[in-house]
Amino acid sequence: MPRAYSDDLRCQLLEAYEAGRGSLRELARQFGVSWGYSKKIRAQQVRTGQRERPQQLQHGPASQLTPAVEQQLRSALRQQPDLTLAELQQRLAERAGVSISRSQLWVWLQRLGLRYKKNRSGRKNKTAGRTSGAGRRGGSR
């Protein structure tokens, strides 16, 4: 993935343009950047009044997994390690006021390094263990 140009290069190009050492097209060729990039940074400078790259904003909503919620999750699992995802989801909604899906809760558990053991009391997989009498392995009859 390409990296952003340094602020140093950006400032040098804009300073050269302000000093009248050439047009944006000529300076772009001289500094080894595209003409579109030079137009873009000049427009940003005119709009914001600064030469440095503007700070990037965080995209998307902030995570609901705050340290307080993480602590609630850890304490719930410490008190009762055999909680199901549905029960964990319900406890987080009641105690921490966080409403998340089961799949997101699973992702949180993995990120925190917490293990989640499957419930062995449920039905077995229907396809597991099925073999026909004709399909024998190895050996002779």
Range of the domain at 77: 67-111
Tokens in use for 24? 């944006």
Establish if 35 belongs to a structural domain. yes
Whether 44 and 71 share a structural domain = no
pLDDT at 88 over 70: yes
Of the candidate ranges 16-20, 22-26, 77-81, 111-115, the one whose mean pLDDT is the lowest: 111-115
Establish if 77 belongs to a structural domain. yes
pLDDT at 23 over 60: yes
Establish if 90 belongs to a structural domain. yes
Site of tokens 């989640």: 116
The span from the CA of 128 to the CA of 134, in Å, is 17
The span from the CA of 115 to the CA of 78, in Å, is 11
Using pLDDT thresholds of 50, 70 and 90, give the confidence band for residue 69. Answer: confident
Establish if 21 belongs to a structural domain. yes
The span from the CA of 16 to the CA of 24, in Å, is 9
Structurally, the chain folds into a number of domains equal to: 2
Establish if 2 belongs to a structural domain. no
Establish if 119 belongs to a structural domain. no
Establish if 56 belongs to a structural domain. no
Whether 102 and 75 share a structural domain = yes
Whether 43 and 71 share a structural domain = no
Establish if 61 belongs to a structural domain. no
Quick one: average pLDDT of 25-52?
Answer: 93
Q: What pLDDT is attached to residue 66?
A: 87
For residue 97, CA distances in Å to 53, 72, 103, 126 come to 38, 11, 18, 38
Whether 39 and 72 share a structural domain = no
Answer whether 0.85 is exceeded by the pTM. Answer: no
- Provide the 10 A C-beta neighbour count for residue 40: 12
